[in-house]
Amino acid sequence: AYDYDVYHTDVEIESWAFDMQSQYSSLLKVETPTKSEENRNIVRLTMGSSQNNPIFLIDCGIHAREWISPAFCQCFVNRMLSQYNTDANVRSMMDALTFVIYPLLNVDGYAYTWSDDRMWRKTRSNYGTVCTGVDPNRNFDAEWSGPGSSSNPCSDTYYGPEVASEQLSKELSNFVLSHTGEIQAYLTFHSYGQVYIYPYSDAVKDVDNKQEHNDIAIASAAALEAVHRKQYTYGPGYQSMYLAAGGSDDFSKDFGVPLVYTIELRDTGRYGFILPESQIAPSCEETYAAVDVIAQHVMTKL
Ligand code: 0X9
Ligand code: ZN
């Protein structure tokens, strides 16, 4: 059986996805809509009892070194599929929503963290400069090239040669733009810091539904804390983190997704990006509770 308590390579994650599809063919569809710069597949999962329900969009692995993020996407998918027949709460979410999940968006960067540099963050594209890599979370159409992002290809926050230059940003942007009005919520998992970040981060400005974002973050954080006593903070990005233009969260909000969070998973800095494998399972358990609150909130609005 697949071991959810260890970190897996990009190759293992792709074959895991197809194995899950064979095992749960009525609840899961796997697609590879886009190839990365280094010709790997960007995998997209569509999960639920119908493929035509309102969409709950989740991505993991935008930043290469944040390994707990793709690990969470995998355990979450396994939980939703394996508990469908036994957990009424899981079943209600799977019957009401279509979960679209990118378990490993920055597949090239992730492969590079396994082969060469565990602390790599960016993509692996090169546009003819000495340094390689674009920060995918500075590459989206949200005040692109603005505050908190860099024009220097050697910077870890390089915004790239143009908006959505990266295959993964193009893929996610196209998905959001081609499903406007259908996507009810978008969660993008990063690490570390234990924070719920909601828009905006590209300027000191607030979302129209700030109260809703704040209330649901509080409720979600409370449910998470109840599992293993981990505390998360929350707030608009410009306040809870820093100004950083070009993020996938602000982009999605601007292009019609009503409820958007970047969730910075464990820890608060002791291990940072190198979170021990012993923390995968507890992180998964508490984050299920967190996601459930957000999904249930979305369902009450349908
Ligand atoms: O800086 C980032 O991209 C995220 N933090 S991380 O340490 N995982 O790199 C925070 C993103 C918050 N949202 C935006 N800046 N739009
Ligand atoms: Zn990140």
Q: Which of 183, 219, 175 is nearest to 302 (CA)?
A: 183
Q: What is the number of other CB atoms lying within 10 angstroms of the CB of residue 18?
A: 13
Return the domain boundaries, the chain: 10-300
pLDDT band at residue 26, thresholds of 50, 70 and 90?
very high
> What pLDDT sits at residue 52?
97
Bridge-based pairing state of the strands 195-198 and 98-102: unpaired
Residue 45, Cβ density class (10 Å: 0-12 exposed, 13-18 middle, ≥19 buried): buried
Q: Residues near 180 by Cβ (< 8 Å), separated by ≥ 6? A: 255, 256
Report, as residue numbers or ranges, the catalytic residues. 264
Please indicate, yes or no, whether the overall pTM of this predicted structure exceeds 0.90: yes
Instruction: Provide the Cα torsion 8, 101, 43, 22; round to 10°.
Output: 80
pLDDT band at residue 28, thresholds of 50, 70 and 90?
very high
For range 197-225, the mean pLDDT: 98
For range 192-201, the mean pLDDT: 98
| E-strand stretches of the chain | 28-35, 41-47, 55-60, 98-102, 183-191, 195-198, 233-236, 259-265
Q: What is the number of other CB atoms lying within 10 angstroms of the CB of residue 225?
A: 16
Sheet holding 41-47, edge to edge: 28-35, 41-47, 98-102, 55-60, 183-191, 259-265, 195-198, 233-236
> Could you read off the pLDDT of 150-162 as tens digits, one per residue?
999 999 999 999 9
> What pLDDT sits at residue 178?
98
Q: Which ligand is nearest to the CA of 252?
A: 1
pLDDT band at residue 144, thresholds of 50, 70 and 90?
very high
Q: Residues near 94 by Cβ (< 8 Å), separated by ≥ 6? A: 27, 47, 48, 49, 80, 84
> Could you read off the pLDDT of 276-295 as tens digits, one per residue?
999 999 999 999 999 999 99
CA separation for the pair 298, 206 (Å, rounded): 21
> What pLDDT sits at residue 266?
99
> Could you read off the pLDDT of 103-116 as tens digits, one per residue?
999 999 999 999 99
CATH number of 10-300: 3.40.630.10
> Could you read off the pLDDT of 122-137 as tens digits, one per residue?
999 999 999 999 999 9
Residue 237 CB less than 6 A away from ligand 1: yes
> What pLDDT sits at residue 102?
99
- The residue to mutate among 72, 120, 137, 260, having the most atoms of ligand 1 within 8 angstroms of its beta carbon, is 137
Specify the residue for token string 């590209």: 202
Query: How long is the chain?
Result: 302
Ligand 1 center from residue 137 Cα (angstroms):
7
Query: What mean pLDDT value characterizes the chain?
Result: 98
> Could you read off the pLDDT of 66-76 as tens digits, one per residue?
999 999 999 99
Residue 137 CB less than 6 A away from ligand 1: yes
> What pLDDT sits at residue 270?
98
Q: Residues near 214 by Cβ (< 8 Å), separated by ≥ 6? A: 198, 234, 235
> Could you read off the pLDDT of 58-104 as tens digits, one per residue?
999 999 999 999 999 999 999 999 999 999 999 999 999 999 999 99
Q: What is the number of other CB atoms lying within 10 angstroms of the CB of residue 211?
A: 10
Amino acid in position 227: V
Residue 260 CB less than 6 A away from ligand 1: no
